[in-house]
Chain A
Amino acid sequence: MAAREPVEYELLIAAPPRTVFAYFTDGERMTRWMGMRATLDPRPGGTARIDVAEGATMVGEFVEVEPFERIVLAWGWEQEQLRVPPRSSSVEVSLAPDGDGTRLRLVHRRLPPDAYDFHRAGWSHFLGRLREEAA
């Protein structure tokens, strides 16, 4: 399968970088935008575990943590049927001051190709996987 471009998001937030940064490092703030429970240890090598939904747990590790500027998180899903194993892809967050606010750029890289193709592969892939598990 062909390699894919990273998935990128960029948005301007009317809050200073210090405030925005905390939404990636503080578990209580994290759950205001992602997940029901979050356990975060925001230092290089520290773990991140976010229950995004019942049965969907994001498991990751902080790779880089530069206060108020940059975070790189290796991540994936604990549940193998979600097709992105723990720590198999990276999320890079960059924060830059923009007036009184922050320009946030998030780049999601290195997803395994079959995660992108989940939709197309659909049932055949999923059920093939189930057969492997059962074998």
Chain B
Amino acid sequence: MEVFEAIAQPKRREILRLLADGERSAGEVAARFDVTQPAISQHLRVLKDAGLVEERREGTRRMYRVRPEGLDDLHEFLAEVLPLGLRRLKRAAEEEARRGRA
């Protein structure tokens, strides 16, 4: 689940916090942190792939802002983890029981 990996990293949570205050370019984000621009770009790509931020082009600049519905996926995962799991459990236990009888 990409969202978990994305928010598990402290630097990426800081970036999210910054973007929550308003849209920023990649350069503006990098200027706020003591890390290289490529490292910031990598963090922004992870956040984007996880659906937590969105990107748009403005001339030659890439602008980033938080994606409000980004946490919906996380919520759905948490709500589904037990019911989906129990269906898998049923299949696995029934298969084991069939093998045992065979």
Q: Which residues of A contact B (CB under 8 A)?
A: 7, 9, 11, 13-16, 19-20, 23, 29, 32-34, 52-56, 79, 81-82, 91, 102, 104, 106, 108, 115, 118-119, 122-123, 126-127, 130-131, 133-134
Contact = CB atoms under 8 A, between A and B. Distances in A.
Chain B interface category by residue count: 35 or more
B71 A33 contact: no
Contacts of B38: none
Contacts of B22: none
Contact of B93 (A15, A91, A126): A15
Given A55-B5, A81-B7, A13 B94 contact: yes
For B6, B87, B89, B92, which residue has the most chain A Cβ atoms within 10 angstroms?
B89
For B16, B72, B90, B96, which residue has the most chain A Cβ atoms within 10 angstroms?
B90
Given A14-B97, A122-B71, A52 B5 contact: no
